[in-house]
Amino acid sequence: MAIRPNSIEARDVAHVLHPYTNAVAHEKSGPVMIAGGDGIYVIDSEGNRYIEGLAGLFCASLGFSEKRLVDAATRQMSTLPFYHSFSGKSHETAVELATRLIELAPVPMSKVFFVNSGSEANDTAVKLIWYYHNAIGKPEKKKIISRLRAYHGVTVASASLTGLPYNHRDFDLPIDRVLHTDCPLHYRYAEKDESEDAFATRCAASLEQLIQKEGPETIAAFFAEPLMASGGCIVPPPTYYEKIQAVLKKYDILLVADEVICGFARTGNMFGCESFGIKPDMISMAKQLSAAYQPIAALMINDKIYDGIRIESEKIGTFGHGFTYGAHPVATAVALETLNIYRDRDILGHVRSVMADFQSGLHAFADHPLVGNVRGMGLIGALELVKDKATRESFDMAWGVAGHVGERALAHGLITRALGDTVNFCPPLIITKAEIADMFARAKVALDETHAWLQAGRPSL
């Protein structure tokens, strides 16, 4: 459809630089303008309704019309619309939110540092890791290990931790002191006839080999998403974290759990750490912390990290790190009310009551001719598309097969996200069993139409 001159779509093309978008293609197609929301649905400027099958960007846990969050923001705007937390200043909602988060933490934590995004939380973790090791007299212990296909953000440091090529290419990333180890996706990276437990053992051994090669005295920390969401909803084997954590403990290496997507009931527990038995030194969180109604994120640190920070800040005279809008009163008020809603409505209980339907609906696609692997947990999952199910051969990325599934889904009123070879699902936590069935029915039509498109030789639309 042609873009009308002087329309809102035309002005978008003229003036907005979009993230994760092919700029040239966008100039031709223009944007989908989202004008409103209603529960799990969003509504475009033409009045079309879409099931938001990715909760926006893995974040709109309470949907798009939660009045309690609107009221919380309005009340706070009327009393204290802004203040900072520099130089010992504070305000009530920041204190209350920090207190609640410490109470909810899956392992004992000491302090909460507020930022504005998951990227900033993980970037802050990197700085604190370096600061801490300087404080304890180990200035050589600075390298950080992440994993291939991990996603930890897009700042210079957090994008370096991210293990996806398109986040590095032509950005001159990753920076030094960041290393990557194996991705724990058994379907793709296991050897022939290798069990999940044997694969986990090999991943842990590979990590230990990397540590020994670099020198244990130089390795500071290991970053891990409990479930690797943006890399393709990668669920590690059951014994993976047990084996990985044993290696980290052996070499006195800090563990940072990136709960930006997994946190707040997404995996069927309040935190992904609980789903996988992870005991981290720091926990980053964002997205569902405020149900995406306000930009806010946080980094929790344990006593060991805080002790280093307090000693070093006394020596220097200040802790020289912070963001103007960190612990913003409106954002903390909305996040606090989000936690209240999770409690009052037993959102975790609701997730547990519908996640079996979600997972069975997802796994029903296992027999589809385009689907090679189905994986997920709780209310998150993905379909990996393959050219050949027997050999697991992938499609040529230039064909854009997963992207085509996303386009056909959109045409049938479903928003999902194609990342590489995978089609991802991560609906609002409030989704019902009937809505789950509707979402997957629309996804099936999109997959069937894509299969027909491939059989017809991928004709242009």
Distance CA 36, CA 38 (A): 7
* Same domain as 116, residue 216: yes
Domain that residue 438 falls in: 32-65+346-455
- In this predicted structure, the answer to whether residue 461 has a pLDDT above a threshold of 60 is no
Which pLDDT band holds residue 9 (cuts at 50, 70, 90)?
Answer: very high
Same-domain check for residues 411 and 354: yes
Maximum Cα–Cα distance across the chain? 70
Q: From CA 439, how far away is CA 430, in angstroms rounded?
A: 13
118 plus 217 within the same structural domain? yes
For residue 101, which of 279, 269, 283 has the smallest C-alpha distance?
283
DSSP letter, residue 326 = T
**Beta bridge partners of residue 111, listed in sequence order:** 301
Q: Which helix (H) or strand (E) holds 384?
A: strand 380-385
Q: Mind listing the pLDDT tens digit for each residue in 222-265?
A: 999 999 999 999 999 999 999 999 999 999 999 999 999 999 99
User: Looking at the structure, do residues 54 and 91 belong to the same domain, yes or no?
Assistant: no
For residues 238 and 386, membership in a common domain is answered with no
Domain total in the chain: 2
Instruction: Indicate if 46 and 161 belong to the same structural domain.
Output: no
Same domain, 114 and 240: yes
Of the residues 291, 312, 344, the one at which a domain ends: 344
106 occurs within a structural domain: yes
Q: Are 340 and 362 in a shared domain?
A: no
Taking all residues of the chain, what is their mean pLDDT, rounded to a whole number?
Answer: 97
Position 19 in a domain? no
Q: Which one-letter DSSP state was computed for residue 219?
A: E
Mean pLDDT of 79-97: 97
Give the whole-angstrom CA distance, residue 69 versus residue 296: 14
Same domain, 209 and 320: yes
Task: Pick the last residue of a domain from 344, 365, 381.
Answer: 344
Fill in the DSSP letter of residue 393.
Answer: B
Domain end among 309, 344, 379: 344
Q: Is there a single domain that holds both residue 354 and residue 426?
A: yes
Does residue 184 lie in a domain region?
yes
Look at residue 302 and tell me whether its pLDDT is greater than 70: yes
Given a cut of 90, whether residue 1 has pLDDT beyond it is no
The pLDDT value recorded for residue 419 is 84
Co-location of 78 and 60 in the same domain = no
Is the whole-model pTM more than 0.85? yes
Q: What mean pLDDT is predicted for residues 417-433?
A: 95
Alpha-carbon torsion angle 316, 318, 321, 323, nearest 10: -160
CB 260 within 8 A of CB 243: no
Would you state the pLDDT for residue 2? 78
Torsion of CA 156, 161, 167, 173, to 10 degrees: 60
Identify whether residues 427 and 313 lie together within a single domain: no
Strand partners, 384: 373, 422
Whether the per-residue pLDDT at 345 is higher than 60: the answer is yes
Which CATH number covers residue 416? 3.90.1150.10
Q: What is the mean pLDDT of residues 1-15?
A: 89
Asked if residue 7 belongs to a domain, the reply is: no
